[in-house]
Structures are given as structure tokens and as C-alpha cells.
Amino acid sequence: MKKNLVQSLAIIAATLMFSITGCKPKNAGNATEGDAASKVYVPPGKYDEFYNLVSGGFSGQVSVYGIPSGRLFRVIPVFSRDPESGWGYTEETKPMLNTSRGDVPWDDQHHLELSQTNGEVDGRWLFANGNNTPRIARIDLKTFRTAEIIEIPNSSGNHSSPFITENTEYVVAGTRFSVPMDNQPQDVPIDTYKKNFKGTVSFLSVDPKSGNMKIAFQLLLPGVSFDLSHAGKGPSNGWFFFSCYNSEQAHTLLEVNASQRDKDFIMAVNWKKAEEYVKQGKGQVQNVSYAHNVYNDSTHTATSTIETKTLVLDAKNFPDIVYLIPCPKSPHGCDVDPTGAYIVGSGKLAALIPVFSFEKMQKAIAVKNFDGNYAGLPVLKYDAVLHGEVKKPGLGPLHTEFDGRGNAYTTMFISSEIVKWRLSDLKVLDRHATYYSPGHLMIPGGDSRKPFGKYLIAYKKITKDRYLPTGPELCQAAQLFDISGDKMKLLSDYPSIGEPHYAQALPADMISKNSVKIFDIQKNQHPYVALGEKNSKVVRTGNRVDVYMTMIRSHFSPDNIEGIKVGDEVYFHLTNLEQDWDVPHGFAVRDAPTSELLVMPGETQTLKWVPDQVQIASFYCTDFCSALHQEMQGYIRVSPKGSNVPISFSLGNNSDAPGEAALDDSIKTD
Ligand code: K7E
Ligand code: CUA
């Protein structure tokens, strides 16, 4: 590695020297790093080839990068409050973070999956899991905003989620922690795990037009941990595969106690069969409680509904839905290749990578080639289902993606490398060091039927000496490889925010052609919209005050308000009247114990403020919107409780300014 570094420094120096002198170095064609620079360089004004949508892990958000440049474009707030955009702070977005147990303004976001049509990414929606408080979110890629969040009952630690079927019929959510079911007693000794703790995987249907999700059914399963999943595709469409660990059913010191058995399982679920049983009215309706939150782009407001029913199918009562495939040892990744023929299990403690054959699995099921059962579920014979094993791939295999040319790429967490191997004969073809300890990796479309097999990105947990130190915590990072040739070539690395786990990517034009640039103000259905300055006003109802305020370059209407009293509940409803792309206005009022508002053109957003002292409170626009942005400001007079100052409001009434003619003291009309 040291040698590589020295070599690259020498090459960079040589390249610099030659570009200064304008000569072409003789062997530039062989200079990997010089070549690499041009492959990731996106000149000013030019666009990236791909959008890369990257999970934020413990940040709870999703970030958007360009490939190949590695430029960060946006952070999309999903499960965590975000003061920059007001997500989770505004009255309109607060309901998005509601759960059956109230406001939960943080989560741990691990996996992303793009919607697909015929197994190919289609650029409509992005699904995201909330790992801690079990939730699935749907992000609308027209607006790059979270449009829906649904909580999962009978679940705890929603890790093997949110993977989808090939026409986005279902999003799945599998529980990491087995727990007592929601309708069972919760106050039980932890050492009754084997008796009382159960696992579930949930199938959420997705409306093909609106994208709205609904929990269609849940499968009740033995008390193990479900780790990851992927749907079958092509010939294996109709099936879903989940990796499971802790088949030992340990409830303490899992690092020892859940690593006892030589094999855990890949669970194969025939979801089409399950769907038939549901249509026949099978299964049990249970009383549960979970939140379903939907954001409406016409009212610019979210609603949260608490749902109360779920349909549960106990898998052991339906012998042809679930089969277990033995898989060494504590499998993590569970990946299906683009042809749908192979299922790859990545046993993070195994010295090999088992690859299973869907065709062999079907045959084994047909002739009941079972190796007994586990908690009432048939276990298939390992050898009967195995396509083969990748021998000596490296240490700590975690996740696998595919290039669409018959090759697979697996991250090795412990030996810090990416290993390329061939699906047909399971030969290792290439390996490349990563810096360091990659978790997931991602090829654009790499878990779909049609990968765009040009780039590969490894998301690394540890960067130790790669960057300048920034205190006790160092960044996570992404590392970009060119995989278009036989050998992987490292092109660049760049820091990432949060802790990326999985990611997705798709060609830029698939998103940009549908991108929303403004919200049509004429279609604004917000109950407190002010359509034009002439409709701006301040209305008192008891101790509630509604301020219908507008924003346009570069003033608020009204910008002087009097008659507010200490203890009033003041709701500032800000409507941005602009109809131009990228002209948001912000709104911040002094000492408000909340965030700013950042209001997009045509949109209305609300900030609640309860003034607790007599004051002249200032407010201003926080987004630099014009040359006179700094003039975009106003005052609110807050009088004591019980004061008789009447409500009044104005814009442009500057009568006491010396030497100035009095302007009209009423609100101007536009
Ligand atoms: Cu491997 Cu949560 Cu997908 Cu992280 S998980 S790496
Ligand atoms: Cu509006 Cu700055």
C-alpha cells in the first residue's frame, strides 16, 4: 500500500508538471491515477451521470450524491428532525414523525430500495427503512421529499427492509428482534424467549399509481433474527429470500450464544402463495396499533392516522409458504443475481460464500428433499439446493452486488477488500483493497434485473488515516471503482455523512426529466394559504392567533404586527408567492424554540410560537433570496397578558419616518 501511495504521488506530481508545461507524458496511458482523475472529473456546468441515493445510518436521513464526481447535492430528511428544512418542526411535517407511541423524531436508516417495473429501476420512488422504531418511508423522487411513513406492528428493529418485488407490488419489512407479539402480554421474563418471543416479516402493498403503502399481511415466524432480504426476479419472481441469524434463539451475549450452530438459514417465502391464502380469507385479524403518515402535496400538510388491524398468517399452518435453506454461518447479506437464478448468502463468520440455485430449490421442494424441520418449518437439504461455494473469497463477506455480465462483487469487512467472482463457475476473478472495512457496496441497478455495470461504490466504516483528523470521530467514506474492465480500478474516495449502509443509484435523466421545480400556487389547497398579499391577514380566535403571511422578493406581508399578547398561541402560516425555480424564502422569529421555516415557491408552511415575554420580536428571511434579502424582515409587538392593544397589521406604513411621505397604511394589493 505504501508503495502504491508513493507511486501515485509520483504520478500526480508528474501529471501536474506536464499539465503546467503543456507536454503529454509518454506513458500517461498507463498511469492509473492520471486516468482516474479524468474519469471522476465533472467539469463546471456539466452534470453527473448517476444520482446516488445513500442511507444515512444513525443520521436517520438520506443523502444524494453525484456519480462519478462524489459531489453531495442534498440531504433528504426522513426519520430525523431537520432544522435546515423545518422537517419535523413545522406544523405540517410534525405528523410525519408520529408513531403509535407519539413523536419519535430520530431513527437509524440502513437500507434503500428504488421502485422497479419489470425488475428494472424506474425512478418513481425510493423506499427507506427505520431500523430502531420499525418504520418504512417512501420518498417521492419528483420532489426529493418523504411522502409517506408507515409503522410496522409486531416488530422491533426493522432491519431486513425495505426490499421490493419486481413490479413494486410489495415492500417487505422483517424484524431483527423477535419479541412478544403486540396482542400478547409484554410483561414477561426475558428468559421465556423461546416460548413467548416471535418473529414476523411483513408485506406492504404499494398502490401502483399513488405509491401509497398498506400492510397487506404479516407472516408469523419462529423467534429468530431476520437480517436482510431480496426478492426473486425473472424465474424466481413470486419468492422472497431473507437471511436469518440467532437460530439458537439466544437472548443474551449473542456474539457467543448466537454463533453456536454451524448453519443458520436463508428463509424462502412464496409470497404469491401467501397472497392466494389472503385472498381466500385465511389468516387472523389482530388488534394492534400503528401510525400511517402521509404528506399531501396539494394541502402541503401531513396527516397521521392510527391504524388498528393487521392480518397475520402463522407460517407453520401453511406448509407451502416458507422453506428454510441452511446457510453457514450467521448470514448477513442475502442477494439475488440479475437473472433470478442464484441466491447468495454471506455468512459473516463463514470461510466461503454459498450460492444457492432457485431451480434446485424448486426441485428439492417438489420431491420434499427435507432435512427435518425447524420450529415446524421445513428445512431443505443444503446440498440439494446449493449451486456451489465460492472458496477462499476473503474474510467477513457481507454484501454482494452484480454487474449484469455474470459477475458478482462481495465486500469483505475483515480483510478490507472487494472480491469479484463469476456466478457460473464461482471462480474468484479479481480482488481490490478498500480503505477500510466496507459494509455495503452498490452498483447502479446492481440488485435489479438490469445493472448499469460501469461503477461500483464501497461504503466504508473505517477511514483512519485517509483524511485530515476531525476530533475523536472520523468520517465514513465512499470509494468509487471503475468495473467496466476485467480488473477493478479505484477512481476516488470521498467522505460521506452519517453512516451509510446500503445505497441505490440510477441514471440522472431518469429523475431529472420529472423533477418538480415549483408548486403551482393556484393549486395550493392549504387551509391557511394567503393567495396574494391582499389576502394576508392576522386573525385572533380566543388566545389563538393565525397569521396569514406571504413572502415575495423581498418582503413579508404583513411585516408589522401588533396586538399579540404573552401566552398567545401564534401560528405563522407562510405562503411563498414566488413561481420561479429555486426561490425559497425562509422565516425565523427571535427566540422561537423551534427551527426556521424554509418555504418553496407556491407552498405554505406553519411555525407555532408562544411568546413568553413582553417584547418587540424581530423576524426575517433566512435564505439569501435577492440583493435586498437583508431587507426582508419585520417586527411583532408582544404586549402583556390581558393588554387591550387590538390586533393590527400592516406593510409599508412608514408614517413616522422623518422626511418620508406616508405610504398607504393598508396592505398593498398585488
Ligand atoms: Cu450490512 Cu444494516 Cu445492511 Cu450496515 S447492514 S453494512
Ligand atoms: Cu427572502 Cu431572503
Task: Please enumerate in sequence order all residues whose Cβ is within 8 A of that of 592, keeping only pairs 6 or more positions apart, or say none.
Answer: 607, 609
CATH 2.130.10.10 placement within the chain: 50-512
Whole-number Å distance between alpha carbons of 533 and 651 = 10
Alpha-helical segments (H) within 310-461:
358-366, 382-385
Whole-number Å distance between alpha carbons of 343 and 326 = 12
Task: Confirm or reject: Cβ of 629 under 6 Å from ligand 2.
Answer: yes
Residues in the chain: 670
Q: How far does the centroid of ligand 2 lie from the alpha carbon of residue 586, in Å?
A: 6
Question: What is the signed CA dihedral for 303, 309, 311, 316, rounded to 10 degrees?
Answer: 120
Query: In ligand 1, which atom is closest to the CA atom of 228?
Result: 3
**492 vs 68, 69, 174, 185, CA distance in Å?**
9, 9, 35, 53
- Burial 57-75, CB ≥16 within 10 A → b, else e: bbbbbbbbbbbbbbebeeb
Task: Confirm or reject: Cβ of 625 under 6 Å from ligand 2.
Answer: yes
Task: Confirm or reject: Cβ of 583 under 6 Å from ligand 2.
Answer: no
Closest ligand (CA of 439): 1
Residue to mutate, 412, 447, 501, ligand 1, most ligand atoms under 8 Å from C-beta: 501
Closest ligand (CA of 400): 1
Q: Domain 50-512 class?
A: mainly beta
Q: Is the dihedral of CA 16, 47, 111, 135 positive or negative?
A: positive
Q: How far does the centroid of ligand 2 lie from the alpha carbon of residue 622, in Å?
A: 6
Closest ligand (CA of 588): 2
At 373, the amino acid letter reads N
Q: How far does the centroid of ligand 2 lie from the alpha carbon of residue 630, in Å?
A: 7
| Atom 6 of ligand 1, residue of closest alpha carbon | 439
| Atom 1 of ligand 2, residue of closest alpha carbon | 585
The set of protein residues with a Cβ atom below 6 angstroms from ligand 1 is 110-111, 159, 228, 332, 398-399, 439-440, 501-502
Quote the pTM value.
0.93
Q: Contact 455/52 with Cβ under 8 angstroms?
A: no
Q: Which residues pair with 266 in a beta bridge?
A: 243, 325
Query: In ligand 2, which atom is closest to the CA atom of 630?
Result: 2
Task: Confirm or reject: Cβ of 91 under 6 Å from ligand 2.
Answer: no
Q: How far does the centroid of ligand 1 lie from the alpha carbon of residue 459, in Å?
A: 10
Please report the pLDDT score of residue 658 as a whole number: 55
Look up residue 57 and give its DSSP letter.
Answer: B
Q: How far does the centroid of ligand 1 lie from the alpha carbon of residue 501, in Å?
A: 5
At 325, the amino acid letter reads I
Query: In ligand 2, which atom is closest to the CA atom of 629?
Result: 2
Q: How far does the centroid of ligand 1 lie from the alpha carbon of residue 438, in Å?
A: 10
Query: In ligand 1, which atom is closest to the CA atom of 499?
Result: 4
CATH 2.60.40.420 placement within the chain: 524-653
Task: Confirm or reject: Cβ of 621 under 6 Å from ligand 2.
Answer: yes
Query: In ligand 2, which atom is closest to the CA atom of 625?
Result: 2
Q: How far does the centroid of ligand 1 lie from the alpha carbon of residue 429, in Å?
A: 25
Alpha-helical segments (H) within 197-308:
254-257, 271-279
DSSP string, 330-367: SEEEEEE-TTS-EEEEEETT-SEEEEEEHHHHHHHHHT
Task: Confirm or reject: Cβ of 585 under 6 Å from ligand 2.
Answer: yes
| Atom 2 of ligand 1, residue of closest alpha carbon | 110
Long-range Cβ pairs for the range 654-663 (8 Å, 24+): none
Closest ligand (CA of 552): 2
Whole-number Å distance between alpha carbons of 103 and 394 = 44
Look up residue 210 and give its DSSP letter.
Answer: T
Task: Confirm or reject: Cβ of 555 under 6 Å from ligand 2.
Answer: no
Whole-number Å distance between alpha carbons of 622 and 88 = 18
Per-residue pLDDT tens digits for 172-204: 999 999 999 999 999 999 999 999 999 999 999
Q: Does domain 524-653 have CATH number 1.20.1260.10?
A: no
Whole-number Å distance between alpha carbons of 309 and 154 = 11
Please report the pLDDT score of residue 657 as a whole number: 57
| Atom 5 of ligand 1, residue of closest alpha carbon | 501
Query: In ligand 1, which atom is closest to the CA atom of 501?
Result: 4
Q: How far does the centroid of ligand 2 lie from the alpha carbon of residue 403, in Å?
A: 46
- Give which of 407, 198, 182, 160 is closest to 309, Cα–Cα: 182
In the predicted model, residues of the chain with pLDDT beneath 70 are: 1-34, 657-670
Query: In ligand 1, which atom is closest to the CA atom of 413?
Result: 6
Q: How far does the centroid of ligand 1 lie from the alpha carbon of residue 69, in Å?
A: 24
The SS3 of residue 129 is: strand
Q: How far does the centroid of ligand 1 lie from the alpha carbon of residue 579, in Å?
A: 42
Q: Is the dihedral of CA 599, 601, 605, 610 positive or negative?
A: positive
Closest ligand (CA of 634): 2
Q: Is the dihedral of CA 33, 38, 41, 44 positive or negative?
A: positive
Task: Confirm or reject: Cβ of 114 under 6 Å from ligand 2.
Answer: no
Residue 32, H or E segment = helix 32-40
Q: How far does the centroid of ligand 2 lie from the alpha carbon of residue 618, in Å?
A: 15
| Atom 4 of ligand 1, residue of closest alpha carbon | 501
Q: How far does the centroid of ligand 2 lie from the alpha carbon of residue 624, in Å?
A: 5
Q: How far does the centroid of ligand 2 lie from the alpha carbon of residue 554, in Å?
A: 6
Query: In ligand 1, which atom is closest to the CA atom of 332?
Result: 1
Question: Residue 314 burial by CB count (10 A; 0-12/13-18/19+): exposed, middle or buried?
Answer: middle
Tell me the three-class secondary structure of 605-651, residue by residue. Answer: EEEEECCCCCEEEEEECCCCCCCCHHHCEEEEEEECCCCCCCCEEEC
Q: How far does the centroid of ligand 2 lie from the alpha carbon of residue 298, in Å?
A: 23
The SS3 of residue 279 is: helix
Please report the pLDDT score of residue 350 as a whole number: 86
**571 vs 91, 465, 543, 608, 631, CA distance in Å?**
9, 50, 11, 5, 23
Residue to mutate, 54, 59, 334, 440, ligand 1, most ligand atoms under 8 Å from C-beta: 440
Please report the pLDDT score of residue 28 as a whole number: 36
Please report the pLDDT score of residue 4 as a whole number: 45
Closest ligand (CA of 621): 2
Closest ligand (CA of 585): 2
Question: What is the signed CA dihedral for 305, 308, 309, 315, rounded to 10 degrees?
Answer: 100
Closest ligand (CA of 55): 1
Question: What is the signed CA dihedral for 262, 265, 266, 267, rounded to 10 degrees?
Answer: 170
Whole-number Å distance between alpha carbons of 184 and 178 = 13
Q: How many CA atoms lie within 13 A of 505 on its CB side?
A: 26
Task: Confirm or reject: Cβ of 588 under 6 Å from ligand 2.
Answer: no
